Amino acid sequence: MKTARRAVIASAAALVTLFSTGCASSRLVGTWESQRAVENRTPAEFDFASVTFAPDGTYTAEMVYGGSTHAETGAWKVRGDKLEVGTDKPRVYQVEFEGNDEVTFDAGRAGRVSMRRFRP
């Protein structure tokens, strides 16, 4: 009896984790942009930033600061409410949604960036 109950609880927990990860992942797919939305200013304060999260787990990001444009591409994935960007040493961000069209990425001491979904 205890074994069956534990199996049911473990299965339910796995489904909740899978469901919540899938939801956050699908909510991030698309293009997001921000203009001077850094709350905790860092040396890399930017004038403009955009990032596109593709459904295949790749991303393209662009930042303009100091008169220069910086771009990068790589892999991304969501684990719970954390976004991991990169492969070798992934950067980790806490993800907080406000509705469907606003998201905040919190990198702790590195700062918070709020972005809006781009609509052409």
CATH of the domain at 96: 2.40.128.280
pLDDT per residue as tens digits for the range 41-85:
554 566 778 999 999 999 999 988 777 888 999 999 999 889 999
Number of folded domains that form the chain: 1
pTM recorded for the entire structure:
0.71
Model confidence band, residue 24 (pLDDT cutoffs 50, 70, 90) = low
pLDDT at 109: 79
Q: Domain of residue 75: give its range.
A: 2-117
Amino acid identity at 59? Y
CA distance 101 to 22: 17
Determine contact, residues 105/116, Cβ cutoff 8 Å.
no
Task: Give the Å distances, CA to CA, from 102 to 9, 16, 18, 29.
Answer: 34, 24, 23, 12
pLDDT at 31: 96
